Chains A and B, each alone.
Chain A
Amino acid sequence: MILIHCPYCDEKRAELEFAYAGEAHIARPLDPSMLSDEEWETYLFIRNNPRGRHHERWRHIHGCGRFFNAVRDTVTDKFETTYKAREPRK
C-alpha cells in the first residue's frame, strides 16, 4: 500500500485514505457553449496515458477531503511530488 503525502494535511498517509480522481490540469472551459464538438470531445474524453510521469488528481477523501495534484511515475508507481490544487503544473 502506497504512502501518499497530502499537501493540505502535510502528512504521509496510507493509500486507502485517498481516492484517485483522474488526470490533473484539465480545466473546465469557462464557456462550454463556445467550443466546437471536437474541442468539447477533447475536454471530455481525451486523456494522456504516459509511460512515466503522470500528472493526476487525488482526493484525501477519508481525511481532509481536499482534492490535490500529484506527479506519479506510472512505471514504478512512485509519487514524485504532490501539490495543492491551483498550484502550477510541476
Chain B
Amino acid sequence: MTGYRLPTGGRINRAAPVTFSFDGSSFAGFEGDTLASALLASGVQLFGRSFKYHRPRGLVGSGSEEPNALISVTRGPGRFTPNLRATNVDLYQGMEATSQNRWPSLKFDFGAINDRLGMFFPAGFYNKTFMWPRSFWEKLYEPAIRRMAGLGQAPTEVDPDHYAATYAHCDVLIIGAGPAGIDAALEAAATNKRIILIDEQDELGGGALSDPALWPWLDRSLKALAASPNVTVLTRTTAFGYFHDNFIGAVERLTDHLPGLPDGAREKLWRIRAAEVILAQGAIERPLVFEGNDTPGVMLASAAKVFALRYGVAVGQSVALMASHDSGWNDAFALAGAGVGIAAIIDVRDVVDEALQAKANALGIDVRLGHSVIGVRGRLGVKGITVARNDGTAASDITCDALLMAGGWTPTVHLWSHSKGSLAWRDDLGAFVPDVPNENVRCVGACAGTWNFGAGVVVDVLPTPKDPARLKAFVDFQNDVTAKDIKLAVREGFRSIEHIKRYTTNGMATDQGKTSNLNGLQIASTALNKPVTDIGLTTFRPPYTPQTFGALAGHAKGALFQPTRKTNIDSWAEEQGAVFELVAQWRRARYFPKAGEDMLAAVNRECRMVRSSVGIFDASTLGKIEVVGPDAAEFLNRMYTNPWKALEPGRCRYGLLLKEDGFITDDGVSARLAPDRFHLTTTTGGAARVLNLMEDYLQTEWPDLNVWLTSTSEHYAVIALQGPNARKVLEPLVEGIDLSAEAFPHMAIREGTICGIPTRLFRVSFTGELGYEINVPSAYGRTLWERIMAEGARYDITPYGTETMHVLRAEKGFIIVGQDTDGTVTPFDAGLDWAVGKKKADFVGKRSLARPDIVALGRKQLVGLLTDDPNMVLEEGAQIVADPNQSVPMKMIGHVTSSYWSETLGRSIAMALVEGGHSKMGQDIFVPMPGKTHVAKVSSMMFYDAEGARLNV
C-alpha cells in the first residue's frame, strides 16, 4: 500500500497519474480522483479549520454533504474560487488548492485560541456580548469578528471567465442518476418522451459507483441510455433550485475539471421547464453526536465506503465504527473486503441482527453492543477512541486511526421542499419523507425513504458519563454548533425550530444542514420533551449547493448588464469626444468639451452660443407616441389636464399628465397633425410608462373609444436647433415649409422635407430661444445632423449636451418631471395651474386635485431660489430650513431640486420645493451645509426673459 491508496480497486485510472499542490506542497493522485480522495490517499486527514473555534477538521462525507473540507482553488488572476468542497472537486494535472480559515498555517492556527475560550462562545454569544456600546459595533467588533470568523476569502479581481445560459424543455426531468434515477430514465426512455437526466457528479451511477457488484448493470444501463435519442444526459450539473411550474435551475460545470485554461464557457446555467419531474436525489447518512466527533478522521461510514470502493483509498489503516444503524456494519464489511483493517464495531444498540454479528465474528472483528464512543484521542487526527457501556461503566480504549459514524439516513428532500411539497415524519426512519406534491413531481429511491439499508435507532446524543455542559459534541460542523448550544437555546426559551436554528445558527451554513438538521431536531425534541413533529422542520431554500455568481449572471455583466440605447447621432458625438451620461437606458451626450475645458467651461460656452447664435442638440431620446383614430382628441382630452379638442391641426400644445392621484407623472409637447392624428412626446425616461398608462385606460376604462396608440420613440431622430440664428440655418435646407414667423409661429408643426428627407418639423423651444425640433426617420439622423452642422458653420453652430439643456431650461423655469417633481407634486404645486383646463368636466387625476390634502395650505411648492452670494451654486438635494438658529435636528421645509451656474445671468440659480413656497416670494430661506449656512431669496422660476420676447420672433 502506498500511503493510504489500496493496491487495487476503485474507478480511478491508475495508468494516469496526476500531480497537484495543496497549501504549496506537491501531491500525486490519479485521473478520476477528487481532491479529497487524492489527499486522503496521501495520508492527509486535516483539511481545514472550523468557522468559529478554528478547530482542526477533516472529511466527514464524500460528496455535496461535506461540511468541513472547504478549500480554495486558483487558476491565475481573477480565477480564484473559495469554499469548494474538496469532495466535489475533480482532480486535474497542476491543480493549485489551498486550505482556508487558518493563520499562519493549517497545522498552527492562531485563531484556535477561540477553541480554548470555547466555553465563552455559546449560542447567541455575539448578540449578547457585542451589544454595547452601539458605536463600537461598526468600527471595532464587526471588523474583528469578520477577520476571525468566516470561510474562504472573497475574490478581489474581476472574473475573466464567461458563462453560458440556455433554456431547455422536456417531458420528464430526472434529477439524480443513482440506481433509482437511472431506472426511471430507462423506463421513460422506452416512451417517445423527451427526457433530461442530470447528475452533479462527473459520472452517472450515484451510490452504484461505490458498489462494484453493480458496475456491470451500470455499464449496460448507460449504454442503453446513450442509445436512446430522446434522452439528454448532463453530468457535473447541479439542480440547485426548484421553482414554480416545474421550472428547475441547474448549473453545468464545463471546464473546472480540465487542466490549464480551457476555451469556452466555464459554466452553463440551464433553465429547464419539465412536464414531469422525478427526484432521485438519494439520502445522506447522519453523523452521530458525541465528544470529539469533529476530530479529523471521524467520518461517515458511507463516505469511507465510497473512498475505498470508488477511489481505492483507505480512510485509515485501522478503522473503528460507531453505529446506531445496520448500514454501517455492511459498510465496515465492505471496507474489510477491500483490505482495510477494522479495529472494532461499536453499536449503541443492545440488540443487533444476528446475521450481522455472525459476519463480524467470522471476520474476527471486535464487536461492542450497548456501547458508545465517549471520547476521541488525537487533535489533528484520530489516534484512538474511548468507549464505554451506555450506562457509563467499563470504559476502555481502542487504538484506531479513523472512526466511522453510522447514524442512519436522511432522505434528500431539498428540491422537493423548494417545490413546496409537504413532508411526513416517519418514526421508523427517524426522518421526514416526501408526502403530498405541489407540482407534477414524484420522488423515487432513497429520497422517497425507500431503501434496503437495514434497521437502526435514532439517538440524539450518544450516552456518556461526562458532564453534558462541558461536552464538545458537534451537530453542525460547518457552523460549529454543539449539542449544548441547542440545549442552551431551549433553556433560554426558544421553542420553535425556526427560532432555535437562528439563535444557534444550526443548519444555516452553506451546506444548509445536510448532515445536521435531523440531529439538531432530535436534540431539541428531547430537550423540549416534545415529539419532533411538534417542533417542525426548517425550510430548505435554493440553492441546494452554493453556485457561482458568474453562472447566475451569465452574459448580463459589464456592457451587457443592460442594453445601452444609442441614437443614430450617438456615433457623431462619440467621435467629437462628448462626455456621456445615462438617462434611463439611453446614452446621451452630456457636454462637448473642447481642449482644456472642464464641464463648467464647456457648458458655459455652449449656453452662450445658444443664447447668442445657435446650438444643436440630439433630442432623439424623447418618448413619442402616435395617437390615431376618430376619438384621438377625445382620448387625449381625458388623459391630459389641458383641453385638446379645440387644438387645430398644425398646432402644438404642452401636455401635462397626472396619475389618478393628482400628481404629475409626465409632460411633453404634442402636435395635432390631422383631426384624427396626434404626435405625442413624453419624457425620455417616461415613454414606456406613459404608453402603458394610456393603454390601460384605453383598453379597460374606455374601450368604446376608437383610438390606436403606437410607440414611435425609436422611429424618429430628433434634432433640436435652438437660438436666434436657428431659422437662418434651417431656411436653405427645408423644402415645402414657409418658415416665416407669420406662417410658422411658435408651438406649431409643419410637414415637408429637409435635405430631401421627409420631416415633421416642430417649432418648439425648451431653451426659451427661437427653436425647432426636426423629426426625421431615425436612419437619417446623423446624415441630417452633419448637413445642419455644415450649414450652421457660418453661425458657429455649437453642439450642446444635456447639461446645457438643463441650464437653459432652468433659466426659463421649465420643470423636469422626476427632478423637480417627485410623485407628490400637483400641477398647482409646480406652478402649472395654467396647464389645467378649468372648464373640463373630467380628466385623469382631476377629482384628486380637490382632495382635502391637495388643497390644504402649506404644501411644498416649486419656486426659484437666488442665493445672496451670486457665486454660490447650491447642492441639488440640499435641505432648506426657515430658521438657521433652531436646535438640531432642524425642521426641514423643503429641498433644492435643480441648481446651476447661469452663464447668461452671471450668477447661480436654483429651483426648490418649499412649504408654502408661492407665498414666500422675496423671503429669505436657509440652506445649512457643512461649515456654512447659505442664505437665498425665494423668487419666481422665470429667471430669464419672463415675457417670452425671444420666443416670438
Which residues of A come within 8 Å of B, CB atoms?
A: 1-3, 15, 19, 21, 27-28, 31-33, 35, 37, 40-41, 44, 57, 59, 61, 65-67, 76-77, 85-86
Contact = CB atoms under 8 A, between A and B. Distances in A.
Main secondary structure of the interface of B (DSSP, over half): mixed
Contact of B703 (A59, A76, A86): A86
A66 B699 contact: yes
Contacts of A76: 420, 438
20 contacts: A1-B247, A1-B271, A2-B245, A19-B692, A27-B701, A28-B660, A28-B697, A33-B841, A33-B842, A33-B846, A33-B847, A35-B847, A41-B851, A44-B661, A59-B695, A61-B692, A67-B700, A77-B244, A85-B699, A85-B703
Nearest to B244: A2
A20 B696 CA distance: 12
Contacts of A2: 244-245
A19 B695 CA distance: 13
Interface in B210-248: 243-245, 247
Contact of B847 (A19, A40, A66, A85): A40
Nearest to A40: B847
B848 interface: yes
A44 B660 contact: yes
Contact of A40 (B271, B420, B851): B851
A1 B243 contact: yes
Nearest to B709: A65
Interface in B698-714: 699-701, 703
Contacts of B842: 31-33
Given A1-B245, A27-B701, A44-B661, A65 B695 contact: yes
B852 interface: yes
Interface size class of B (residues with CB under 8 A): 20 to 34
Contacts of A59: 692, 695-696
A53 to B, nearest CB: 17
Given A33-B841, A33-B842, A33-B847, 5 more contacts: A21-B696, A27-B701, A37-B851, A44-B660, A67-B695
Contacts of B703: 85-86
Contacts of A1: 243-245, 247, 271
Interface string B270-281: 010100000000
B851 A67 contact: no
Nearest to B439: A78
B541 to A, nearest CB: 15
A19 to B, nearest CB: 8
A30 B493 CA distance: 58
Nearest to B843: A32
A3 B699 contact: no
A56 B111 CA distance: 56
A67 B847 contact: no
A76 B419 CA distance: 10
Interface centre among B699, B701, B703 (most CB of A within 10 A): B699
A47 to B, nearest CB: 13
Nearest to B249: A1
A67 B699 contact: yes
Contacts of A33: 841-842, 846-847
A2 B244 CA distance: 5
A33 B841 CA distance: 8
Contacts of B848: 40, 44
A3 B271 CA distance: 14
Contacts of A57: 700
Interface string B827-859: 000000000000001100011100110000000
Interface centre among B245, B695, B696, B852 (most CB of A within 10 A): B245
